[in-house]
Amino acid sequence: MTCILETRSLNKEFGAVIAAKDLNVQINKGEVVGVIGSNGAGKTTFINMVTGYLKPTRGEILFNGKSIMGHSPRAITRAGMARSFQVAQLFPEMTVLDNLIVALAAAESARPSFLSPLRSDARIARAEEILKEFGVENYRNSLVTAVPQGARKLVDIAMALIGNPQMLLLDEPTSGVSVDEKTDLMDTVMNAVRQHGVTVLFVEHDMDVVERYVSRVLAFYSGEIIADGEPAAVLADQQVRDLVTGHRPTTKQGNGAS
């Protein structure tokens, strides 16, 4: 198994707040990793550091074996690591179709053309395919502001996938989406991801969703990783149950914790 993303004693402090403490993570190619942790545990901070948005206080980040410390988000995106956002980051005054077309053009070239039209037939056709793949073709001509949360999240993820990344980091893809829609949304996303053969790491608060899709779980607590392993093992871990998941009723085993 080859390691695609590795962090070595990654630290981040915001004044007195320690948002990341000696994070040592190795993600292998093809893995689907879930990240859990209560609010403020440092999950988003981890994604922000790995994608170049935040500068770590100390530590090292390797992507495909090469250091990406100090690289800009766009350089890291170009290198093949894409992300989505806890709050979908779209172009609100554009239509959904235009959002995708901008992403398509960006994926083709880092230097957009000065005179040839952005909305070419080829890009429109490709964008329409993507709309279908993500099941949001009904919102083709809607402004983003008029689109429901779930669809926005999907567009956000679709835009991240357009650049054909090797790795995708999803920050709470199902937040703001009703419980019944969560599985549909994740099925759509995971189908698309599988077709692209992408390594995925996603942050999720809903343990049912986590168990359904991931092969491995990282549990964050107060800037530290307190457990890392197979979902069943991590979710059964006493510390994780005390600090992260709480004592949720589980169907798998009795609950003996105090």
Partner 1 sequence: MRLDKTEISLGLIALACVLFGFVSPGWLIFLLTIALAKALVVQGVVMQMRSGLVSFGQGLFYCIGGYTVGMGGQFFGIHDAIAALSLGMFVAIVVAMLLGLLLTRYREIFFAMLSLAFSMILFGILVKSQELGSTDGFNVHDWTLFGWAPEAGAGSQHTVFTMTVVSGLIVAVLIHRYTKAGIGVICEAVRENEVRVEYLGLSPRWLLYGNYVAAAAVSALGGGLTALATGHVDPEMAYWTTSGEFVFIALLGGLGHVAAPFIAAIVFSFVRTYAIEFVPHTWQMILGFTLLAVIIFLPKGLWSLVSREKTGERA
Ligand X SMILES: Nc1ncnc2c1ncn2[C@@H]1O[C@H](COP(=O)(O)OP(=O)(O)OP(=O)(O)O)[C@@H](O)[C@H]1O
Q: What residues make contact with partner 1 under the rule CB under 8 A?
A: 51, 53, 72-74, 77-78, 82-83, 89-95, 97-98, 101-103, 105-107, 109-119, 141, 159-160, 163
Stretch of 80-88, 146-154, 155-163, 229-237 lying at the interface with Mg ion (CB under 5 A):
80-88
Residue 43 beta carbon to Mg ion: minimum distance, rounded to whole angstroms:
5
Q: Which does 42 bind (CB under 5 to 8 A by kind): ligand X, partner 1, Mg ion, none?
A: ligand X
Enumerate residues 67-86 that contact ligand X by CB under 6 A. 86
How far apart are alpha carbons 45 and 40 in whole angstroms?
Answer: 9
- Closest-CA residue to 128 (of 152, 160, 163, 95): 95
Minimal distance, residue 257 CB to ligand X, in Å = 23
Q: Which of 5, 36, 43, 165 binds ligand X (CB under 6 A)?
A: 43
Which amino acid is located at 241 in the chain? R
Residues 83-102 within binding reach of Mg ion (CB under 5 A) = 86
| Burial of residue 179 (number of CB atoms within 10 Å: 0-12, 13-18, 19+) | exposed
**Contact region with ligand X (CB under 6 A), list: 35-43, 123-131, 151-159, 192-200:** 35-43
Pairing mode, strands 199-203 and 167-170: parallel
Pairwise CA distance, residues 161 & 84, whole Å: 9
| Three-class HEC string of 48-101 | HHHCCCCCCCEEEEEECCEECCCCCHHHHHHHCEEECCCCCCCCCCCEHHHHHH
The least distance separating partner 1 from the CB of residue 114, rounded to whole angstroms, comes to: 5
Q: Which of residues 85-144 bind ligand X (CB under 6 A)?
A: 86
For residues 223 and 16, is the Cβ–Cβ distance under 8 A? no
Exactly one of 1, 16, 39, 115 binds ligand X (CB under 6 A); which one? 39
Within 10 angstroms of residue 222's Cβ, the number of other Cβ atoms is 15
Report the b/e string of 110-124 with b at 16+ CB within 10 A. Answer: eeeeeeeeeeeeebe
> From the list 27, 31, 36, 42, which residue makes contact with ligand X (rule: CB under 6 A)?
42
Q: Can you tell me whether residue 33 is helix, strand or coil? A: strand
37 belongs to the binding site for ligand X (CB under 6 A): yes
Residues 9-68 that bind Mg ion (CB under 5 A): 43-44
Q: Quick one: 4 or 160, whose CB is closer to partner 1?
A: 160
**Residue among 4, 5, 10, 19 that touches ligand X (CB under 6 A):** 19
Interface residues with ligand X (CB under 6 A)? 14, 17, 19, 37, 39-45, 86
